[in-house]
Each structure stands twice: as C-alpha cells, then as structure tokens.
Structure 1
C-alpha cells in the first residue's frame, strides 16, 4: 500500500529529528569557551545538564498531547479515547532508569564518535530480549535468538572498528573511546530494564504514548534538575571535565553558553529534536507500523555517520559499515522484519496458507491460531 503525503512527512520527520538529536549533542560537546570567573577555554563537557535538556524535550510531549486532545474534543465526533486515570508514580521507576541511562550516554558521547554511539545503542535488543524472557515470561522464537547473536557480533565489529581506526586523537585517547563504548552498552542494560518495567506496569493501563513520554520526562526533569545542586559540590577531579573538577558545574555551563551562543543553539536543537522525534516515532507506529519505525531508527545511523564524516568528526573505516549492517540484520530478525518480506514471496505465502488450513482443520475448536512457518 502506497504511503500518503502525511506518512512520508512523518517518516522524514522521524529520520531527520532523530539524526539531529545525536548530532546536536555532539556538536555542543565540541565547542570550547571560557567559563565563569575568567577560566581558560575548555570543552563544553556537561552531560547531566544536557540530559536535563533532553527531559525538557520529553516534557513538551505532554503539552503536545493536551493540545491534540483539546483539538479532538472540539470535533463533532471525537476520535481519541477518554483520558484514563492512572497513578503517575507508576512512571517513576522507568523515569529513574531513563535518567540514569541518558546521563551515562551523554558522558559516553563525550568520549566516543557519534556514529559508534548510535550503532552501539543497538545493544538494547540483547538485554531487552534476555530480560523479557527472565521477568516477563516471554518465549523468544529462533529468529529472535539469531537476531540477538548477530547483534552481539555487530557490537564486536563496531568496537573493533574503534580500536583500529583513527577516530581517537590527543583529546580522546583510545582508552577513552573504548570506555565510552562500554558506557553506552552499560546504558543499554538500564534502557532494557526501563522497557521491561514499562511493559509490566505501565502499558497495561492503556496510557497514550505521548502522555507516557511526557510524564516520564517530567519526573526525569524535576529529579535531575534538583540533583544538579549536590553535583555542583561533589569533587571528581579531571573526570568532571570542568575547571572546578566537580561532577557537574551547571554555572560553568551557563557561563560558556553566554560567551558562546552557538552552544545554546546546539542545546535548543537537541531539546526540540527529541520532542519532534518522540511525536514522529509514535505517529509512525500508529499510521504505518512498528517495523517501519525500527527501520527508520536504524537508517538515522547512516545519516549520523555521513554527517560526522563530512564535518571531520571522525575518519572512514570499512569495519563500521560491516558492523552497521550486522546490527541492522540482527535488529531486523529480532523485530520480525523478515516475516513481512518472506510473506510477500509466492512460495512462502502458499506455504503459510497451506499450514494455516491444516492447522485450522486440526484445531477447529480453538479461537485463534498462531502460525510462524518462516522464522
């Protein structure tokens, strides 16, 4: 079925804003500016403040939800379901996971390349699959286990590419790049826990996705904003990346932004892109399919990689392409994309119909039949 113009716009919005989200954060990390009290020029290394900005973008999804709801209620025949009452604190545990994972990933983005950052986020497939088996009682089919195995292989290839490539320099030594890669993978474990918590406790309440994202963002924004206060006094030495050597120096960040307004532009791009990306992603799932959303999410890695090469943020290495395609194949198998492709092949379609008819005759007393002959 051909896409409508609206569906094309949604797909383009998701691809573009998803790419801008990572690229704008990396752009901000590359700026050098003086800090407070006339300190020397230093890199804008403020991952926790950037995470606060990301949550601010998610909070805006809540505003979008109520705008859409208000517009729908003005119609003669409203199409949206009535807003269900739910306990907002159900979103607190996944919000804490989101806050922790996001902060770790912004720290990692300071250490590794933007393309490796995006590729290694594919590790979430591994941990989501394993945790869903352990805590949700889900049974993975053969193709999903193969997808997890391929994802592991892809991660190894991407890590090897960072090890042998020239994407590290005097500012980011090889040990820092590999540390950044490992931090991204650790963050994906936390993201997987977040997804399992959402599926187990949140989704059963039938909360609108935009409302869910906005509520989680509100918790993350409030908690992390308050945590910036003690972080200002926690000494961590050179790890902090700021003149005072503390965990997060928000005042130093604001001073740098005032001196270098382009940093504000980069942060604004990050905030707006995460808002539009969440809206577009949810709309793509609703208007087209979840599989299309997965494919678009994978394609933005290519956009990020091409832009990073064009502006000189990293150097070309063939292993990255190989790693990307292995990760893409693993994600496709895990999410069942191969079923849609095989179902369109005449021989597989005929086989599915024959199996369906045979199972219908054998299980005529059952209400539903689940047949997956093309795993």
Structure 2
C-alpha cells in the first residue's frame, strides 16, 4: 500500500530530526570559544549541560501532547482518549535511568566519532533482549537470539574500526573509554526500557505525555545536580579549564562569546522533541519496522555528513560493521519473516515472544533520543 503524504512527512521528519539530534550535539562539541574570567579558547565540552537541554526537549513534548489534545477536542468526533490519571512518580525510576544513560552518552560523544557513537548504540538490542528474558519472562525465538549474536559481532567490528582510525583529535585511551561508556549507557537504557514496560505501559499513558513526564524529572533533577558538579573534580573526564565534572557558568560564558554554540544547542533541544513525536507517530501510522529502518538510515546520514564536513576519516571496517549491525537488528525485529513465511518451516514458533525491540506497545518511549 502506498504511503500518504502525511506518512511520508512523518518519515522524513523522523529521519531529519534524528540525524540533527546527534549532529548538532557533535557540532557543539567541535566549537571553541573563550570561557569565564578571561580563560583561553577551548572546546565546548559540557556533556551534562547538553543532557539538561535534551531533557528540556523531552519536557516540551508535554506541551505538544496538550496542544494535540486541545485540537482534538474541537473536532466533531474526538479521536484521542481523555487523559487518564496516574502517579507521575512511576516515571521517576526510568527517568533516572534515562538521565544516567544520556549523560554517559554525551560524555562519550566527546571521545568518539558521531558515526561510531550512533552505530554502537545498537548494543541496546543485546541488553534489552536479555533483560526481557530475565525480568519480563519473555521467550526469545531463534531469530532474536541470532540477531543478538550478530549484533555483538557488529559491535566488535565497529570498535575495531574506531580503534584503527587515525584521528588527531582523539588518542587511543579516549576512543576505548568513549566506546565503553556508550556500551554502559546502553545497559542503562535497556533497564529503562524494561522498567517502562513493566510499570508504565500498563497504565495506558499517551507516549508523548510519558516522554514529557520523564523529561520533566530529568530536567529538574539534572539541573539541580549541576550545582555540586561545579565543585567536584572531574579529572580526565573534564574538558573545562577548572577540571570539574561540569562548569555550567563556563558554558554560558562560551555561548556569550560564540552565539553559534547556542544555535547548535537549540538544534539539539528542538530536534529531540520533534524526533520523539515523529518516532511515536511513525510507529502508530506506519509500522515499528519502518521506524527501525528509518533509524538505520539516520546512522547513514550522520556518517555521510561527518565525512563530508571532515569530522572523521573514512574507514572501510565501518561499512562492514554497520551492515552486520543492520542484519542483527533486522533479524531481532523480524524483518526476515515475510520471506520465511513462504516456506513451510519458516512459520513463527507457537508460544514464543516474537515482539521486536521497536514493537508499538513495547518500545522505549524515548530510547531513541
């Protein structure tokens, strides 16, 4: 069936905003400006402040939800169900996981390339699958186990490509640390997804409202934590002149000296809001499979732009790693089933859980951020 103009618009919005989300964050990392008190020009390395901005973008999804609800109520026949009452504290545990995982990923983005960063995020399939078996009692079928194994191989190949890349801006220890932080973040994101499915989805909360509520918790808590971070030594993880975990004042001074940084940050904040809306809508209006394919295309766009602007050097192993990761994700999410359905032995096993990572009712409400 051909897509409507609305569906094509949603797919394009998801692809563009998803790509902008990572590229704008990396762009901000690449910019340099003087800081406070006459400090010398240095890179804008403020991952925790960037994470606060991301949660502000998620928080804005609440405004989008109530705007859509208001417009829907003006229709002769409303299609949106009235908001259900729920305990907002249900979102606190997954919000804490989201806050931790996002902060780690922004730290890692300073240490690795944008394309490797995006590819290594595919590790979430591994940990989500294993945790769903351990804590949700699911049974994975052969293609999901095979998808996990292939994904592990793909991660190893991408890691080797990252290690062998000759980049003057990053040393070997930074690359290894960055890649490990991304993997650690995916473990936390997988825990977040399991918590959301176990405690949140059964309350039938609209996805945009759920994203906005988690964004509220993340924005408030991380904003408060920025205060003690101003005084805690950060050592090698710090990129600011005072060598503390996060120097928000230095960030604002850099923005004042170079307003282009604010443009990059606003791109990151706005893109995450539109990306969450587009991702949820694509799952609802088209399919979860389409969402996975678009997410893979997002990796290609990020990689192509990074090469075009000279942020990284082409490495053939990355192509191999990306293709392996793509096969792993496709198998895990069941994209092979239309082909195997034509064969007698290719039918799904009875009683097994064939739901993919991005299934409409089981997807992380903001795991793609």
1:158-237 to 2 correspondence within 5 Å? 158-166=158-166, 168-169=167-168, 171-237=169-235
Kept after mapping to 1: 8 A contact 2:154/2:321: yes
Deviation at 1:240, TM superposition (A): 1.4
**Hey, what does 2:357 align to over in structure 1?**
none
Q: Residues of 2 paired with 1:57 and 1:257: CA distance?
A: 19
Is 1:150 the counterpart of 2:150? The answer is yes
Where does structure 1 differ by over 6 angstroms across 4 or more consecutive aligned residues?
369-373
**Hey, what does 1:326 align to over in structure 2?**
324
**Hey, what does 1:118 align to over in structure 2?**
118
**Hey, what does 1:61 align to over in structure 2?**
61
**Hey, what does 2:358 align to over in structure 1?**
none
Kept after mapping to 1: 8 A contact 2:141/2:352: no
Q: Residues of 2 paired with 1:291 and 1:297: CA distance?
A: 10
**Hey, what does 2:303 align to over in structure 1?**
305
Is 1:139 the counterpart of 2:125? The answer is no
SS in 1 for 2:336: helix
- Tell me: CA distance 1:370–1:3, structure 2 relative to 1, closer, same or farther (3 Å): farther
Q: Residues of 2 paired with 1:233 and 1:15: CA distance?
A: 39
Deviation at 1:239, TM superposition (A): 2.7
Deviation at 1:94, TM superposition (A): 0.1
Q: Residues of 2 paired with 1:313 and 1:113: CA distance?
A: 8
SS in 1 for 2:240: coil
Q: Residues of 2 paired with 1:371 and 1:111: CA distance?
A: 40
Deviation at 1:143, TM superposition (A): 0.2
Question: What are the ranges of 5 or more consecutive residues in structure 1 without an aligned counterpart?
Answer: 360-368
**Hey, what does 2:4 align to over in structure 1?**
4
The superposition leaves residues 230-256 of structure 1 with CA deviations (integer Å, 9 ceiling, x where unpaired) of 111112234311111111000000000
**Hey, what does 2:333 align to over in structure 1?**
335
TM-score (norm 2): 0.93
Is 1:75 the counterpart of 2:75? The answer is yes
Deviation at 1:181, TM superposition (A): 0.6
Question: What are the ranges of 5 or more consecutive residues in structure 2 without an aligned counterpart?
Answer: 355-369
1:236-275 to 2 correspondence within 5 Å? 236-275=234-273
**Hey, what does 2:294 align to over in structure 1?**
296
SS in 2 for 1:177: helix
TM-score (norm 1): 0.92
Deviation at 1:163, TM superposition (A): 1.4
Deviation at 1:339, TM superposition (A): 1.1
